[in-house]
Amino acid sequence: MSVEFWTATLMLLFIMDPVGNIPIFHHTLQGVEEDKRWRVILREMLFAYGILLAFLFAGESILHFLGLKQASLSIASGIILFLIGLDIVFPRKGLNPDQDYEDPFIVPLAVPMVAGPSAIASILLLTSTKPHLLHVWFGSLTSAWAISVVILLSSNWLLKHMGHRGIRAIEKLIGMLLIMLSVQFFLDGVKAYLAGA
């Protein structure tokens, strides 16, 4: 496997943040019978995968249609990822206790919790920067998604053995790594912009 594959896989996995999404999935699905939860999780993850695949294969067309350049996309992605990483490390608010979902459909689990703006922006960035590596990005997306599915399907076991504090500690570490990735995205975008100016 190439360096690009592992880098993209880890980046997308951090952005999808399955560990950080465990409490949100658990809260949202509390109105669903326990033996049916795995089916709902799998269904929502399949929806998210389909949406992300659409942007993976149509990303270049979308960029041309919107008139976006790689440099601006890189800078925007860096800013978005930085804000998300910052929010993971220093959360502003917790779950909304007033929300009550029963068997949620697409929203909010598939979109925006998994296939959110940052994941879509990152996929567009990958395909615009190195479109000839589309097969690598497909493998990275599929791998990150599959790992996320396994983690979310194991959420009850993870919550039982790690607890909310353990989950939160891992989430903070992921947030720090995401911040570092976002800074690199931003610097790469600025460099590309200055080179083209």
Long-range interactions of 47-50: CB distance < 8 A, separation 24+: 47/106, 47/110, 47/111, 47/115, 48/109, 48/110, 48/111, 48/114, 48/115, 48/145, 49/115, 49/141, 49/142, 49/145
pLDDT at site 92: 67
pLDDT at site 93: 57
pLDDT at site 196: 76
pLDDT at site 197: 57
Tens digits of residue pLDDT in 35-91: 888 999 999 999 999 999 999 998 778 777 878 777 877 788 788 778 877 877 887
pLDDT at site 33: 84
pLDDT at site 39: 93
Which residue, 128, 156, 132, 1, is CA-closest to 65? 128
Which residues have a Cβ under 8 Å from the Cβ of 5 and sit 6 or more positions away? 136, 139, 140, 143
Which residues have a Cβ under 8 Å from the Cβ of 187 and sit 6 or more positions away? 78
pLDDT at site 7: 92
Which residue, 189, 186, 191, is CA-closest to 85? 186
Across the chain, which has 197 residues, the per-10-residue mean pLDDT values are: 91 89 79 87 95 89 77 79 80 52 72 82 87 95 97 86 79 81 84 80
**Distance in angstroms between the alpha carbons of the first and the last residue of the chain:** 35
- Give how far Cα 131 sits from Cα of 16, 49, 108, 126, Å: 22, 19, 30, 7
Which residue, 182, 154, 184, is CA-closest to 77? 182
pLDDT at site 103: 67
